């Protein structure tokens, strides 16, 4: 089970100016529980599709059927997706499989090597094409797109589909699994025409909330992750965050601390700092969830608000040597969320050497887990001394249940923050404009007017080129 420890965000630790006083917390509790009632009303009306994912009756079983079908004949799995169609896959793989997973032999790995192509960098795509060319007959491609028209994923799909078709002929379709809308859309229609195996992108779940759907579950299941345990953890957290008792509801408390830090204490920067390399990509996943959900120019009443805490990722202990100087002595505008692990997936002990070197004797026979967690506590203490608030999410261990708990905790906290900020946490209009501009620049029909608007930006004014 994961737990939230929030004492170091209070005035008792970091002072009244930057920490939360009992009176502020009492007022915040009322605001958060009103937001909680609103979110639970949305849940009751079936408006929040992601809440149903941990107990969905079909998704996990459909994923397992396809994984069992494809895993025996697959040495490499390539996921084509971007944003919510990629970050969850990466986060699950990084957290729940060894760092060296792709370097293990086919015999020792629990599934295929995993490559998630979350960009259209031509060098990355070309390197992947070259690498898998020797194993194409045993490579499976999972293309993930609700519509099939997102430029990045669509271009990747077109490249790899043609690569497969030329090399494998009529058998190419057996090496593609499409995760897309179950009823309509460009990718849906192509998948039906070509004859791919398909999984569903839920129509009522936005991409950044979709990790616990087939979008994230398929690659996890293919790579040997226990998706039933992952979903069980998410469901356990779902039950905890539905509580109307503020102090026993981790999402309510986390939302209160984050909202009050942002709205009352001038802390618009929200850092996530895992003290575990395994959990580092969870911080990447969090950045999209937080930024795309909460960064809005207008509230639901149409008023201009320019809302949204800025999510930042850092890694302990690495970023103690690159960012903590700024966090302690720069602007006091940050709330730090530490991720701490009680029992790490493996242990290494420092050997009993250099007994005659005074500066190293304290490290002899020390466990690296003890050193890592000491570094976290030291950073926590140093921030508090500088009146910088923090909270800690404590993992008993990095397991499928605990990762499922974490993901659902942050999804639900995001919903609460949307209510507190009075914004729509489920749309992304600014992202859509960028997509449309890309269509225009790439010559898609119907975007001629936008081409004209963009044209001044395509010319380089040499007066500003140095």
Catalytically active residues, by annotation: 292, 321, 435
Residue 376 and residue 383 in contact, taking contact as beta carbons nearer than 8 Å: no
Residue 342 to residue 345: CA distance in whole angstroms: 10
Which tokens in the block code for residue 121? 């960098």
Burial of 296 (0-12, 13-18, 19+ CB in 10 A): buried
Longest dimension (CA), the chain: 76
Q: Enumerate long-range contacts of 53-56, CB under 8 Å, 24 or more apart.
A: 53/202, 53/205, 53/212, 53/213, 53/231, 53/234, 54/212, 54/231, 54/232, 54/234, 54/235, 54/238, 54/404, 54/408, 55/231, 55/235, 55/238, 56/213
Q: Which helix (H) or strand (E) holds 192?
A: helix 186-194
How many other CB atoms sit within 10 Å of the CB of residue 83? 20
Asked if residue 389 lies in contact with residue 329, where contact means CB atoms within 8 angstroms, the answer is no
Q: Which tokens in the block code for residue 166?
A: 């030329």
Burial of 311 (0-12, 13-18, 19+ CB in 10 A): buried
DSSP 215-243: HHHHHHHHTT--HHHHHHHHHHHHHHHT-
């Amino acid at each position: 089970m994961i737990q939230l420890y929030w004492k170091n965000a209070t005035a008792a630790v970091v002072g009244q100016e930057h920490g939360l006083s009992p009176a502020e917390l009492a007022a915040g509790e009322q605001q958060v529980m009103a937001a909680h009632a609103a979110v639970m009303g949305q849940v009751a009306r079936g408006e929040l599709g992601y809440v149903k994912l941990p107990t969905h009756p079909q998704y996990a079983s459909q994923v397992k059927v396809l994984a069992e079908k494809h895993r025996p004949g697959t040495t490499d799995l390539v996921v084509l997706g971007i944003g919510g169609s990629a970050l969850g896959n990466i986060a699950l793989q990084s957290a729940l499989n060894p760092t060296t997973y792709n370097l293990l032999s086919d015999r020792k790995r629990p599934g295929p090597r995993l490559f998630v192509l979350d960009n259209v960098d031509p060098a990355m795509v070309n390197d992947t094409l070259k690498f898998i060319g020797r194993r194409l007959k045993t490579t499976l491609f999972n293309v993930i797109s609700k519509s099939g028209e997102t430029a990045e994923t669509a271009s990747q799909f077109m490249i790899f589909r043609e690569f497969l078709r030329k090399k494998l002929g009529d058998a190419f379709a057996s090496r593609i699994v499409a995760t897309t809308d179950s009823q309509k859309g460009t990718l849906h229609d192509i998948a039906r025409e070509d004859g791919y195996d398909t999984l569903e992108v839920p129509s009522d779940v936005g991409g950044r909330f979709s990790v616990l759907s087939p979008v994230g579950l398929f690659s996890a299941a293919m790579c040997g992750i226990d998706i039933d345990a992952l979903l069980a953890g998410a469901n356990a957290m779902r039950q905890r965050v539905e509580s109307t008792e503020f102090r026993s509801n981790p999402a309510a408390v986390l939302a209160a601390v984050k909202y009050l830090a942002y709205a009352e204490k001038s802390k618009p920067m929200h850092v996530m700092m895992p003290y575990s390399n395994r959990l580092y990509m969870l911080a990447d996943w969090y950045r999209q969830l937080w930024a795309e959900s909460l960064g809005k120019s207008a509230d639901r009443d149409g008023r201009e608000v320019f809302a949204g805490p800025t999510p930042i990722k850092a890694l302990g202990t690495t970023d103690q040597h690159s960012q903590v100087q700024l966090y302690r002595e720069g602007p006091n505008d940050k709330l730090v969320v530490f991720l701490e692990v009680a029992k790490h997936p493996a242990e290494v002990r420092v050997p009993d050497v250099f007994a005659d070197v005074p500066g190293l004797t304290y490290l002899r026979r020390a466990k690296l887990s003890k050193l890592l967690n000491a570094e976290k506590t030291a950073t926590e203490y140093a921030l508090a001394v500088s009146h910088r608030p923090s909270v800690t999410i404590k993992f008993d261990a990095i397991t499928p249940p605990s990762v499922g708990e974490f993901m659902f905790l942050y999804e639900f906290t995001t919903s609460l923050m949307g209510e507190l900020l009075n914004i729509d946490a489920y749309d992304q209009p600014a992202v859509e404009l960028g997509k449309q501009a890309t269509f225009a620049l790439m010559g898609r029909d119907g975007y001629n007017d936008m081409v004209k608007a963009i044209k001044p930006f395509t010319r380089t004014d040499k007066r500003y080129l140095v």
